[in-house]
Chains A and B, each alone.
Chain A
């Protein structure tokens, strides 16, 4: 039932963390120049 669930959650975490981090960095960059 929960076979390999940790791998899926790991992949999910990496993807969403990277995208959210990208948005945060770009909002900061925009605030610097706007």
Chain B
């Protein structure tokens, strides 16, 4: 294929973020009354984006020189000092690959949401706005939900297309806002247990925690702008600019001279730590599971958490500007530590979504560890495969939860003497419905201890979930997760054995907890009535299981694009198009991205840990699955790991007490500081000073008033009164009689004459 100018299809790039945004605007302003219409608008917007996105992505894969000459679409946007910030989109191999994944997964999640939110079902009589609907009813705020996720998709698509950091930040924050809105979507939901975090609090927590990272990231961007004078990727990644950043240093107190590149890279990475929930800002992600399950899939698998990894991949030339510098070591450390740390927590979680949440944190740690050791291609590969299989797992867990809720509903219906389910005799069903469901609020359909034996009840969900789980565990040769994880391990083996060891253990734990999750959920005998009556025969499950199947295909097949050519036997069949693409980009950016020579150690390791972990998990939890306890006893189920782990188990179950620690140190600390400042302000210093000044002035003005009233007014009135007094005294003289006047004249003349005569001459 040869071309002188860019293919026409690239000009449609601008539509990709605009279409879902248009859907958002239309839903908010016009279509929000009709849930059906809103859902269709959102699906239509993202569906078109998906088609155009794939057309653009495949055109880009076919182009020869897309890595050297990425397609750009740039308009001047914001004047910043003497420079202009451009509003620009870019298509290069990395954004093309993201376009392959993001709109597609978003579309599938939107379709799934159509079912999950019960669009098309009747409205429930007792449903409350901002709380989950009863099974078989539409969510009262479904339109709002579709508006939010459409805006969210806009954010993620815009982010992968942005050609400068400012625009990237804008979309980054759009996603931050949407994650807040979506995690807190069921804002009215309350729990009996006051310690359990509510969706409203979880949304706030996610927003505030990521804000810490975002602030540092913004600081990094501003420093970068101060140093380079531009935030456009093409400007920043010029070899001369990177050289300049790597050689000039700045002095930091206590640390000494640090290259600008290192400082900026670490600050920008802090944004990724927040967004991708890495240690120590990982606390928000598990609680973010309070959001509706499609949101968990959207935010915590396919898009937002990947945005952090994407940011580091995108700015990788900057991260790697200093060879084997502190920035990369820092990233590698945080990544591998988080991978291991989160995997251990996932071992002891009983909530089906919490397990997935910690596995997400752990897998993102894998990606960062890979980036930290320079495995640019492997990290990108794992980012994409993970997005597919983790979205699959989250959506699968949502399906399981819905199935359990249906089962709970049905189970209680059957257990009751009056009614055999909904839609029975109306005058009985209505009050009965209310009565049977209200104790159900304490029933937790997400708790794996309540499940068991769902394989027979929900086969489509189970199959797809197991495929996703195997991909997560890295089941050898077949699944996508194996190929990407294997590539990371191979890179780690070649570059940093310590990271390799950490990741290998984390991979073993991953396989173990995945097996635990699958066995506890799907195999053995049902442990509660809800699990026994769970089903996926409702019409909503048609909408929900089709995306699961589509994702399951990708969770397996996507890995085949990245089989290393050096791999025994299979390598000969593979041309490794993935490495070709991303490697080409890396070369264009002057990064080292050679395909590694084959080494048996990491391959054997990854096969052994995956199979070993799965086998161990099955071995340990096989017994639990067979118990098949009923009713309330399900929650008393003792985890077989609890005894051998002893005191460690509660620590894991409580997530190393990070939430408690942060709440004690930071939340309480800030509250105490705020309280102190309040006292400083209102009680001790500021208000008393202000009040004092006020009082003094009040005193002074009182005095001034008295002066005015007594002295000034007194003088004025006194003059008047004096005049009046004199006049009333003098008016007596004026009698009007000529004789009196004459007499006065006489007396006066006589006196004057007397004085004249007596006075000495």
Do A and B originate from a single complex? no
